[in-house]
Amino acid sequence: MGYFTILAAIPGFFLSSLLLMLLWGVIAPKIGVADINYPTAMLITITLWLAVAPLAAAAARKRR
């Protein structure tokens, strides 16, 4: 079951990266920072996912 959960998360990763890139393009000019491209958005997304995944796992374990 865990393997299929990982496979199901892959499209979400690419969609999250795309949304991050698009929203960053809207917000960046207003706060005076440079735009980011898709590979940079992917790097930011995977970094956030790696930081949040242990917290989500711990929260799920605590509920059981």
What six digits make up the tokens of 37? 């491209």
> Which pTM does this prediction carry?
0.75
Quote the CA–CA distance of 60 and 56 in Å, as a whole number: 6
27 φ/ψ sector (left φ>0, alpha ψ -120 to 50, else beta) = alpha
The rounded average pLDDT for each run of 10 residues, N- to C-terminus, in the chain (64 residues) is 79 94 94 95 94 86 77
Q: How far apart are CA 51 and CA 4, in angstroms?
A: 21
CA-based torsion, 49, 51, 56, 57: positive or negative: positive
Take residue 29 and report the two structure tokens written for it. Answer: 């000019």
Specify the pLDDT at position 8.
83
- pLDDT (0 to 100) of residue 9: 84
DSSP letter assigned to residue 32: T
